[in-house]
Structure 1
């Protein structure tokens, strides 16, 4: 009998431990969410990551009797199948008939007329923790529109899968849609924490603050690994791509392909111009990934990063190595094909020149360390998780 009792206690302990480890996103906490939406006219800012189990949040809310008036779609669209930079068109969701309005392209911010018939805006999009990933820029403009039009903003939070604080803090002169805030490349926040920071630091136009409520994630804390159940955009198909993305994205301002047009984007890098290894790949028009990739139908030679240990944070080692390879071939002046775009992605105008001058990563990192430490201290005020 005693053995049986100990066995049952052991089972109960194991069950409780497993239950405690389960990550429950804000959108999955219907007991908290539905009372906040009851009797309200609701607009959703959502995409393909806005899932409640196997069901999209839009379908879940409508089945629960919530009055969803419209959906605002960010870059890549409502279903997440549009290429980076591709125009998102207004339309209707074929399943529910709910109007879909684009928040990408010319209309990045909801206009007053689009919010007239709305009481609450609900933002539920999975971020990846990088400053230049534009969903947080969309969130900024939504916050601004809510502040200006006296609308409530509700954020159902999700974990940060690339949860580091690293890289240069964006300089004031480098503000853009891929760098809205004075935060490092890896900001170490969930969207809920970042929204609180935007409000608290007075980063909205005219220092306004929006009426903000965040439903936090349960069962997750900072530094805890989190594998995304749905790819957050066409060219981030898995955990490895997400982990490499912060360090490889600045290549988009150079002559180097990051594997768009392959089944492993942001996991291979290379160019037709150099052969630093025998590994090669050929970008092609791929539905669901990239329809018009760089070096389309040309063989690129470089590195296969699919099985390497990704940097635990932000690294310049790949950029520096490839620039040096171009230099060794006498092609250094052809490496930074879009220098201004590179600077905007890095958020810093001096890093590119340091690379050209031959500085190593440690020297370059030292130049942004003071601002990074100041950001870390400021960030602590807005954390929702340990």
Structure 2
């Protein structure tokens, strides 16, 4: 079979040797022209045809590509069958370790960290792959060992080890073979592949024959794919008005109602929906209540995700996230508005850095910021520090970075 793989930014170099090992004639195209020469040479040494830019025109039996990759790169190519990278991963995935895969529009990383923290506190040996990095997760936190993409093919590149649970954040889709699959939300079914497809088409590929956890409000979206669904219950109630830098007091209903205080070093209000989904995972795994509440009370948030500090009399909120967009800006400002913190506030945004695919839509972000009546600075993205105007009381620093 003649196989063409498009895109080496999101895992073509992982899939190519696997198809080659099955005896297929394989070509891979570095359509974004950013793969290092060493990677290209490694594939050539295996007998893989490598193209920098568009592939050679011709007919292929099978084409596989990321769902968000536009068809413009297939100019001059015909094929009998096309599958997305998630579906190719499904063909090769044979890792038998218990695995939780998490995708969605927003909240993927937060959900993965909460799940990992609870499971580690229940005595399980946990490995976490996320857009912040990958490595063992212990009760005291995440020991990041390496930075890897969270594109679906990287599920085939998980490290060996006798882990009880592998928790994997996935950008678009999944293997469809996880023990538990979570879709945090769809929120905005945004356009991908130059708006020729929708996010739903990619994210549905995570759905498994085992346990799928989705929002009640989105049940009808995912039900049409014929997989078993468990809907998230609302278990968390905020007891008191949140205050900047102070613990957030909650009542959490998990095998009975319990008072819980989230640490004040992060915007706990932004974590409530992720806690609900993490508790649904705990239900599916029969995690004991003591471990759950101990974990929630000791969780310190995620570095750079709603992290709060005070320096020189100015409050700071730090967001370092590949998902920075008008939606996340609105979410953060809405949270801070509920805390009465937006007087004298300034939003500072650093644009794309590291391996982040989608670019910021400045017009949409400006519209959101203007609606809250706060200031906005967008940096050049070259590391230059902006001058903070006199009288600023709160700086919301948002950097669009991470490994997708």
| TM bucket normalised to smaller | under 0.3
Structure with higher RCO (Cα < 8 A, 6+ apart): 1
Larger % of strand: which?
Answer: 2
Query: Larger helix proportion, structure 1 or 2?
Result: 1
Compute the TM-score of the two structures, normalised by the length of structure 1. Answer: 0.27
